[in-house]
Copies of this chain bind each other. A is one copy, B any other.
């Protein structure tokens, strides 16, 4: 029988801007963006959704944004209401927030050429990105990430999502933002845990792809722990750049089987869940990196010296590398994370391990006994450090 073959490519382009004091009336970056986007046809609208945690630490933010668009009134019509949404997993767990945004899109007549901007941590960005992606088959979505993790990793990428009946990111799409604005001002008010947590994604990407970048982190670990902003800005810029290169150089919408940037993540996802999200994603990833580095060492792939450099760098940054839930060795334990990780990716299990610092290699199985040994090693290190 006959068939017709359909084949086309779609190009996606967006910029990730680095700035400070984005809404200071003297900073024209944001207004310039709307000017460049403008077409003669119709005035675009802009709706803001803001993480409540950001509003708490930046109580003047809404007034500042209003003042900004009073000054730049010609570029876009600002929706009169600002939606304030709780940050963290709550934003992704409760479906009422997606509905709130969809309803606001309707109320304010936000069409496919208008904008929904989200200011917040990764969870709020994921949830708002999802609501924008499904409204009118996709409204233009601007991301303004406020944490280290979202500025160097999730916020600059192409994924969005919400949880469904307790299943992480069960609903979501691959849709790039129209622009990302990384404003370092928001980093100054982060608590130490959030400041630190985002660094683990930079270490992850350095370990599997860029030895020089790992050595930079190693050298600057004390400065980063002491909240040196210049060091942090370099780290975010380089990590975001590598994340973007990984997306554009590979399989942006993950139609194939592998996700080689996910070093240390199979156990991290499970640990987050086992600790009821008490452990932040980046904290869990630090443990996951330590675990899979030791596993690589046990395979004889990574030298003892290099393994210790990795563990020492993580500890210098202030990460704790052991969590008691690692030892919940039953059917719901951390090893269950392997099958869940496969199911989430679809297709074959693919895990990244290290052949060297800066050289990740994919494997398709992990040995449960070796994983338990790696956990035992982490527990011993922890006991010897805290005694």
Contact = CB atoms under 8 A, between A and B. Distances in A.
Interface of A: 1-20, 29, 39, 41-42, 102, 106, 109, 111-114, 133-138, 156, 159, 161, 164-165, 167, 169-176, 237, 240-241, 244, 247-248, 252-254, 257, 343-348
Contacts of A2: 17-18, 237
Contacts of A17: 1-3
A111 B13 contact: no
Contacts of A109: 343
A114 B346 contact: yes
Contacts of A156: 4, 6
User: In the assembly, how many copies of this chain are there?
Assistant: 2
Contacts of A3: 15-18
A247 B113 CA distance: 19
B11 A173 contact: no
Contact of A170 (B136, B164, B174): B136
Contacts of A345: 111-112
Given A1-B29, A39-B347, A137-B172, A8 B248 contact: yes
A346 to B, nearest CB: 3
B41 A18 contact: no
A111 B343 contact: yes
Given A102-B171, A174-B137, A111 B347 contact: yes
A342 to B, nearest CB: 8
